[in-house]
Amino acid sequence: MTVVAAILVGLGAATIVVVGLEVMNRKGEDLRALLDLPYGEQDVPVQAVTESPRVSQLVSRAGVVFERLDRRGSVARAMEQAQLPLRAGEYIFLSLAGAVVLSLLLVAVTSSLLFALPGVFVVAGAATFFPKHRAERWRRAFQAQLPDALAMIASSLSAGHTFLRAIQNMSEEAEPPLSREFARVVSETELGKPVVDALESAARRTEVRDLTWVVQAIRIQQAVGGKLADLLHTLADFMRARQEVRREVDVLTADGRLSAKILVAMPVLLFLLLDVINPQYLNPMLHGWHVAILVAAGVWMAVGVVVMFRMLRMEV
């Protein structure tokens, strides 16, 4: 059974790697090929940038099925906020494949079918946490660049440029991720959307509070009048002060966050280590009412994790 499980784990891991690399790389290659075509040379179907000739039958069919589960669009919205080049169905498919692989790996290591269920829960938690963590990192990078971007826009306005031209200059000079988002704002304005409405759409899409405040301040300035350059300089100074406070909070809570991670990982790692070194030592805990005790302990650990990280989370 161990050999069969190991073989299945290897095949599953290879499938995830191949499908993941194919999905991640195909869209960029197809788009680059389309951009090299002269305008109007030929019509290109939508499948040219959404389907892959090698894994299309597997990923596309599974994606269509799994996308029906995402009726509210929460997974698709998480993919967009995390800047992941994956559709909702593709991400769900890869998450399920990862759950199967990890469950088989735990069964092969521990020789117990009881550990298949924890593998599913671990992958489900990681699949839920990863887009949120990546989106939060993206927002932090965006917020760190925003004050300097506002100061650059204000300087361009003082030099006589229009607001749209100032945003375009800033998007050309800035670094990602801010440059990509403001370049999208410029593209939307070129399609006929007002610049303030395009900024408001970017604020809703990115869920960056500082950008929402910028949009609100610009709308108020348009209603009451005044110098937009001075307003943007004031907003930039205010955001820099908030970032300093945020960094101080991160420093003061670093010890607590590290302690929380150690307390969470230590029982699980010790349990797995003891089961690998001496399986007979923990064998009584895997039968009868002892399983219920383990489940209750896991539930209380999850509650403790939530409480610890809630205590360490401070909004600035």
What tens digit of pLDDT does each residue of 223-271 get? 998 899 999 999 999 999 999 998 898 898 888 888 888 988 888 888 8
Q: Residue 162: helix, strand or coil by DSSP?
A: coil
CB 169 within 8 A of CB 156: yes
Residue 21 CB partners (closer than 8 Å, separation 6+): none
- Cα distance between residue 124 and residue 94, in whole Å: 11
Q: What is the pLDDT of residue 215?
A: 95
CB 127 within 8 A of CB 98: yes
Q: What is the pLDDT of residue 1?
A: 55
Q: What is the pLDDT of residue 33?
A: 63
Position with higher pLDDT, 260 vs 53: 260
Q: What is the pLDDT of residue 291?
A: 77
- Indicate the range of 52-66, 76-90, 268-282 predicted with least confidence: 52-66
CB 181 within 8 A of CB 202: yes
**Average of per-residue pLDDT values in the chain:** 80
Cβ neighbours, 10 Å, residue 22? 16
Question: What are the pLDDT digits (tens) for 192-210?
Answer: 999 999 999 999 988 899 9
Cis check: omega of the bond before 284, within 30 degrees of 0: no
Closest CA to 217 of 233, 202, 205: 233
- Cα distance between residue 210 and residue 221, in whole Å: 16
- Best-predicted range by mean pLDDT (83-92, 213-222, 275-284): 213-222
Cα dist from 182 to 117, 141, 179, 205, whole Å: 44, 14, 5, 12
* Statement: residue 52 has pLDDT above 50: no
Cα dist from 10 to 13, 92, 94, 99, 161, whole Å: 5, 20, 15, 13, 59
- Indicate the range of 91-100, 184-193, 257-266 predicted with least confidence: 91-100
* Statement: residue 316 has pLDDT above 80: no
Q: What is the pLDDT of residue 183?
A: 92
- Cα distance between residue 139 and residue 207, in whole Å: 8
- Best-predicted range by mean pLDDT (129-133, 144-148, 270-274): 144-148
- Indicate the range of 20-29, 101-110, 139-148, 216-225 predicted with least confidence: 20-29
* Statement: residue 148 has pLDDT above 80: yes
* Statement: residue 61 has pLDDT above 70: no
CB 185 within 8 A of CB 211: no
- Indicate the range of 19-33, 69-83, 238-252, 260-274 predicted with least confidence: 19-33
Closest CA to 147 of 278, 256, 241: 241
Position with higher pLDDT, 10 vs 241: 241
Model's pTM, two decimal places?
0.71
Question: What are the pLDDT digits (tens) for 267-308?
Answer: 888 888 887 888 788 778 777 778 788 888 888 888 888 888
* Statement: residue 44 has pLDDT above 80: no
- Cα distance between residue 310 and residue 253, in whole Å: 12
